[in-house]
Structure 1
Amino acid sequence: MAEFGVIGHKGRMGQAIADAIDEAGHIFRVGVDMGGDPAPIIGQCDVVVDFSSPAALKHNLKAACSAGIPILVGTTGLEEEHFVALADASEKIPVLQTGNTSLGVNLLQHLVQEAAAKLGTDWDIEILEMHHRMKVDAPSGTAKLLGEAAAEARGVKLSDAMDSGRHGQTGARREGAIGFATLRGGTVAGEHSVIFAGNEERLTLSHSAENRTIFARGAVRGGAWLIGKPAGRYSMKDVLGL
């Protein structure tokens, strides 16, 4: 049984995590509202889960490091400066950062990496994602997670291969590109498909999220797994033993 702290606990995801903590038999010890200061209370728990905002990440990491407790970060829309801060924090405490805490999505990431490695560069890769109308970042953190898996398998950087701005007369598809298409609308929790298009055949690997409970359950499982680990950078693949 672990005691959890949740940053951003009043948001929709934070509330789902609180419910998942109770469902898993753990204790929801403390919650910090979006933009609130976690420093005074963060030391009351065994692990902290952060689903707040990119703007708050550095402060939240500093608080976790000061308290010496592990942190799982599920906040999306991160930039390079945030990844630098995550790397710095991981030298002091266990840090698990992921664009998606769903166990199914992280297994999908593993399958995408395997497929990209086996099929080779003569198969084109396109990633299609759809989310609810309120989502503010695009492509989604999950789509980027899948793209990074494909790029790693090919030995390239996603930033060099990524193509997400097609419009008008774009010309032929760039060789080696990893394409992204983004859809927004309704109340869709999350739909992701990775299409491998070869000559006269296609392979599609996909995942459908019916509600955010799956992400909350994965976050709780990942947070509990993180307790007692040495300082370092971890992923959901480590939680799954992949």
Structure 2
Amino acid sequence: MKRIVLSGCNGKMGRMIASCVKGRDDCTVVAGIDVSGEVLDAFPVFTSPAGCQVEADVIIDFSHPSALAPLLDYAAATRTPAVIATTGLSSDQVALIRETSARVPLFFTANMSLGVNLLVELAKKAAAVLGGQFDIEIIEKHHNQKIDAPSGTALMLADAISGVLPEEPQYVYDRHAVRRKRGKNEIGLHAVRGGTIVGEHEVIFAGRDEVLTLSHSAMSKEVFATGSINAALFLCGKENGLYSMGDLV
């Protein structure tokens, strides 16, 4: 039975993870970290990582970018592996994750869904075959409470596609501000925010007289919760380093 510390335990994803863990017999949440300090479940809740004195096998972080640095310090100091599932991180914060992974095992990916990570691989394959001949556009849709845009998953898709193209493309985020025809070496990224959309990502390869579309739709947050739990169990016992969904699957 693996013991989990859940960072961001009182947020929407934290509540979903806690609920999913209750239905499993291979892990349990032994403590939570949340700025509110409110206890909503059977485990104690601490307002900061430094205040958490409960021993655990792994941390799952679904909180806020501002909470990342102290959580990484805590993980390294206690030598507790951590799954970083918080989105909207800056490039400096991603660099900090990479740096800290030299001292403690860390799992980091822009999206915890197995299906999304398969979409990434399919998009790379399509880009390798069609790159240079087809225009590439990425559309992502999320609920009206999501702050960052484009989503980390959309950027993950764009970066993965860029890695297999013969020439590094330019990312274009706002076409109405650019009064010119579409350049050949571009990837367009478009964000939609509305209602309670959990998460939809679509990659369009538009060629002459034909269009190929790859897409993924998440029907509930449970797919991300399950992915983060599986990542946490995978990370237990691993050597120091940075791991991703590619290592898990």
TM-score (norm 1): 0.93
Which residue number corresponds to residue 61 of structure 1?
Answer: 72
Q: Say if 1:42 and 1:67, in contact at 8 Å, map to a contact too.
A: no
Which residue number corresponds to residue 243 of structure 2?
Answer: 234
Give the C-alpha shift of residue 169 in structure 1. Answer: 5.0
Task: Return the alpha-carbon distance in structure 2 between the equivalents of residues 92 and 169 of structure 1.
Answer: 45
- Superposition map of 1:32-181 within 5 A: 32-34=33-35, 36-41=47-52, 44-154=55-165, 161-168=170-177, 170-181=179-190
Q: Say if 1:124 and 1:196, in contact at 8 Å, map to a contact too.
A: yes
Q: Are 1:8 and 2:8 counterparts? A: yes
Which residue number corresponds to residue 229 of structure 2?
Answer: 220
Q: Deviations over 1:161-192 (max 9, x none)?
A: 21112115521112221111111111010111
- Superposition map of 1:204-215 within 5 A: 204-215=213-224
How many equivalent residue pairs? 238
Task: Return the alpha-carbon distance in structure 2 between the equivalents of residues 71 and 156 of structure 1.
Answer: 35
Which residue number corresponds to residue 22 of structure 1?
Answer: 22
Which residue number corresponds to residue 44 of structure 2?
Answer: none
Q: Say if 1:70 and 1:226, in contact at 8 Å, map to a contact too.
A: yes
% same residue: 40
Any unmatched runs of 5+ in structure 2? 37-46
**Aligned partner of residue 164 in structure 2, secondary structure:** helix
Task: Return the alpha-carbon distance in structure 1 between the equivalents of residues 177 and 165 of structure 2.
Answer: 28
Q: Say if 1:51 and 1:74, in contact at 8 Å, map to a contact too.
A: yes
Structure with bigger gyration radius: 2
**Aligned partner of residue 153 in structure 1, secondary structure:** coil
Task: Return the alpha-carbon distance in structure 2 between the equivalents of residues 232 and 121 of structure 1.
Answer: 35
**Aligned partner of residue 17 in structure 2, secondary structure:** helix
Amino acid aligned to 1:9:
C
Q: Say if 1:131 and 1:183, in contact at 8 Å, map to a contact too.
A: yes
**Aligned partner of residue 75 in structure 1, secondary structure:** coil
Give the C-alpha shift of residue 12 in structure 1. Answer: 0.4
Give the C-alpha shift of residue 40 in structure 1. Answer: 3.3
Structure 1 window deviating more from structure 2 (185-194 vs 106-115): it is: 106-115
Q: Once superposed, which parts of structure 1, at least 4 consecutive aligned residues long, lie more than 4 Å away?
A: none
- Superposition map of 1:196-211 within 5 A: 196-211=205-220
Amino acid aligned to 1:214:
V
Structure 1 window deviating more from structure 2 (39-48 vs 212-221): it is: 39-48
Q: Say if 1:34 and 1:53, in contact at 8 Å, map to a contact too.
A: no
TM-score (norm 2): 0.91
Q: Say if 1:46 and 1:227, in contact at 8 Å, map to a contact too.
A: yes
Any unmatched runs of 5+ in structure 1? none
Give the C-alpha shift of residue 153 in structure 1. Answer: 1.6
Amino acid aligned to 1:102:
S
RMSD: 1.6
Task: Return the alpha-carbon distance in structure 2 between the equivalents of residues 89 and 215 of structure 1.
Answer: 24
Task: Return the alpha-carbon distance in structure 2 between the equivalents of residues 42 and 237 of structure 1.
Answer: 32
**Aligned partner of residue 121 in structure 1, secondary structure:** coil
Q: Say if 1:164 and 1:180, in contact at 8 Å, map to a contact too.
A: yes
